[in-house]
Chains A and B, each alone.
Chain A
Amino acid sequence: MNRKDFPMLTKDIIYFDNGATTLKPYAVIDKIVDYYENYSANAHRGDYDISLKVDMAYENTRELVKKFINARYTKEIIFTSGATQSLNMIANGFFSQYLEPDDEIIITKSEHASNVIPWFNLVQKCQAKIKYVELDKNHKVTLSNLQKQITSKTKVISLAAITNVVGDIRPIKEICQIAHQKNIFVVVDGAQSVPHSLTDVQELDCDFLAFSAHKMCGPTGVGVLYGKIELLEHMVPQNFGGGMNETFDNEDSVFLKELPTRLEAGTPNIAGVIGLGAAIEYLQDIGINKIASYEKELKSYFIEKLKLIPHIKLINPDSDSGIIAFNVDGIFSQDVACYLNKYHICVRAGNHCAKILKDEVGVTNTCRISLYFYNTKDEIDYVIELLKDKDKIIREMI
């Protein structure tokens, strides 16, 4: 779908690494260039026309994000540098105040490093503990396995709505229901889910959500932290400085501004935020549900064809997202990626920043293909042809 919108798709590549980052449409690129060319001023300093225009564009994105994830209040949307920063702010700005010694944090072994290491760091500071939900044989989180880890000490459950390695979709709404009955907070890492499926934070009732613009056709270096207003009110800024204070006469009298500004110290990534706004409008024009169902169709088409190749070992044939993890029997994943690269096909090899997953899946490295709406069945057919011939892979991988 919509291939003509993407300048990168005229570059003779097949781009299958959308889990890492996505391509950008003209609609986004042009919006960013427009800012730099036509009203390049700072935000929150609306003393002259172009600066006011910046403020309006910047705050307009906040409105767009609010509607996109169906937040209740605009103030619940904080701009960050990406999902990683959002998750760090949640751990260090909120839970570091809230956790007590021996409290428990529940995650899984298929989380991205950005949803693991901030918690590792925090448990050292707070003397809290990490517990892992046992994954089932398809590497999925089941509610009953989750419940087994919940104790009276559990204070937070932090999970990706869709994981970046095996692409399983977590039942976030049900998880929130279970958690909230026990006064447990739920943090959702939406880096892989928000770009690909409808996200409604009120419907899910999650407490925090983190995601990145660059994985949804937007620019790099910008992302979102969503939090319920009453929780964000208690979040301690990790950055102090310009823009976020009311007055500061001396060290005892720093008064901070209201949300969301309080959590956005310094000159923000203005071009990035404006670009994110354009990306959201772009995705909404296509329709996020349409994107989700097209990806699902592509994914099943791909999986059916891969299953027919005897030397392909699929790690996650049953997951519902557009992420496919596989290995070619006896060939190191990086060699497969290098082989495909010779045909200008971009796939990722490695552990995909989920280093602790190897305990569960038993393989350290895989090739990962991650789809987006601009991929096609023709591209899939081409890659299938290249993967069919194992001798050719071995011949050409070096």
Chain B
Amino acid sequence: MDPTLKREIILENYQHPYNKETINNPKYIKVNSNNESCIDNINLYILIEDSIVKDIKFDGEACAITTSATSIMIKLLIGQNIDTIQEYITNYENMIDERDYNNELLAEANCFDEIYKQQNRKNCALLPWKGLKKALEEYKKGIEN
């Protein structure tokens, strides 16, 4: 991806993040995600019905990388089945850690494919995904019980 395009995607999603709003709806799973090493702190609100992610919203205080990564993640995942989401998670994490991954799958999220060059920003790019994983675990536990 062209560096100017990457920058534009990140800035666009930072300045106009998708679905950044607080909601108070018990149907949504709420998870907090924060980095011990830095100051990003976001809440994700995730609505999953019949194994399909119907909606994700978020709020909190976070840097440009975390905010845009969250916005981009939300756009990618709404409407997906939780099994497919596992595939997204694996590929995204592979990208962040400089391993092979399916770049077609990740679409806009490819803008973070060089984030490994800034070690201190890697956790920022992973933060929403960390929250997502927590929410999926909660959802699965909910079904089992």
Q: How many chain A residues touch B (Cβ–Cβ < 8 Å)?
A: 15
Name the contact of A398 in the complex, choosing from B11, B61, B62 (C-beta under 8 A): B11
Q: Which residues of A contact B7 (CB under 8 A)?
A: 395, 398
Bound Cα distance A377, B97 (Å): 41
| B120-A338 in contact (CB<8A) | yes
B67: chain A residues within 8 A (beta carbon): 332
Q: Once the chains are docked, how many angstroms separate the CA of A108 from the CA of B10?
A: 40
What's the Cα separation between A365 and B120 when bound, in Å? Answer: 18
B65 in the interface (beta carbon within 8 A): yes
What is the size category of the interface that chain B forms with chain A?
10 to 19
Closest residue on chain B to residue A364 by CB atoms: B61
Q: Provide the main secondary structure of the chain B interface.
A: helix
Q: How far is the CB of A217 from chain B (nearest CB, A)?
A: 26
Beta-carbon contacts under 8 Å, A347-362 to B: 349-351
Distance (whole angstroms) from the CB of B39 to the closest CB of chain A: 4
Give the complex CA separation of A395 and B3 in angstroms: 12
Is A333 part of the binding interface, using a Cβ–Cβ cutoff of 8 Å? yes
How many A-B residue pairs have C-beta atoms within 8 angstroms? Tell me.
37
- A328 CB to closest chain B CB, in angstroms? 12
A335 to B62, CA, bound (A): 9
Verify B61–A338 contact, CB threshold 8 A: no
Q: Is A334 on the interface with B (CB-CB < 8 A)?
A: yes
Chain A's nearest CB lies how many Å from the CB of B143?
Answer: 36
Q: Is A394 an interface residue (CB 8 A)?
A: yes
| Interface: A56 (CB within 8 A) | no
The CA-CA distance from A335 to B68 in the complex, in Å, is: 12
Say whether B38 faces chain A, with CB atoms less than 8 Å apart: yes
Contacts of A397 in B (CB 8 A): 64
Complex CA–CA separation, A255 to B121 (angstroms) = 54
Minimum CB–CB distance from B15 to chain A (whole Å) comes to: 9
Q: Which chain A positions have C-beta within 8 A of B38?
A: 334, 349-350
> Which residues of chain B have C-beta atoms less than 8 A from A350's C-beta?
38-39
Chain A residue with Cβ nearest B39: A350
In the assembled complex, B53 has its CB within 8 A of some CB on chain A: no
Residues A398 and B39 in contact, CB atoms below 8 Å apart? no
Cα(A398)–Cα(B61), bound, Å:
17
CB-based contact B121/A338 at 8 Å: yes
A398 partner residues in chain B, CB cutoff 8 A:
7, 10-11, 14, 64-65, 68
Q: Chain A residues near B39: list those with CB within 8 A.
A: 333-334, 349-351, 364-365
Once A338-B121, A350-B39, A395-B7 are accepted as A-B contacts, the answer to whether A365 and B61 lie under 8 Å apart by CB is yes
CA distance A394 to B121 in the complex (A): 16
- Which residue on A lies nearest to B40, using beta carbons? A334
CA distance A397 to B68 in the complex (A): 13
B63 CB–A CB distance under 8 Å: yes
CA separation between A395 and B64, bound complex, in Å?
Answer: 11
Interface mask (A336-350 → B, CB under 8 Å = 1, otherwise 0): 001001000000011
- 0/1 string, A314-338, CB within 8 A of B gives 1: 0000000000000000001111001
Q: For B124, what are the chain A residues with a Cβ–Cβ distance below 8 Å?
A: 334
Q: Given the complex, which residues of A lie within 8 Å of B68, measured CB to CB?
A: 398
* Assembled-state Cα–Cα distance A129/B120 (Å): 40
A341 to B40 CA separation, bound complex (whole angstroms): 18
Pair A334/B63 contact, Cβ less than 8 Å: yes
What is the distance, in angstroms, from A333's C-beta to the closest C-beta of chain B? 7
Cβ contacts under 8 Å, B40 to chain A: 334
B61 and A394: CB pair below 8 A? no
How far apart are the CA atoms of A109 and B40 in the complex, in Å? 22
A-B contact pairs, 9 of them (CB 8 A): A332-B62, A334-B40, A334-B63, A335-B64, A350-B38, A364-B61, A398-B11, A398-B64, A398-B65
B residues whose Cβ falls under 8 Å from a Cβ of A: 7, 10-11, 14, 38-40, 61-65, 67-68, 118, 120-121, 124
Knowing that A332-B64, A334-B40 touch, tell me 12 more A-B residue pairs with CB under 8 angstroms: A332-B62, A334-B38, A334-B63, A334-B124, A338-B121, A350-B39, A351-B39, A364-B39, A365-B39, A394-B11, A398-B7, A398-B14
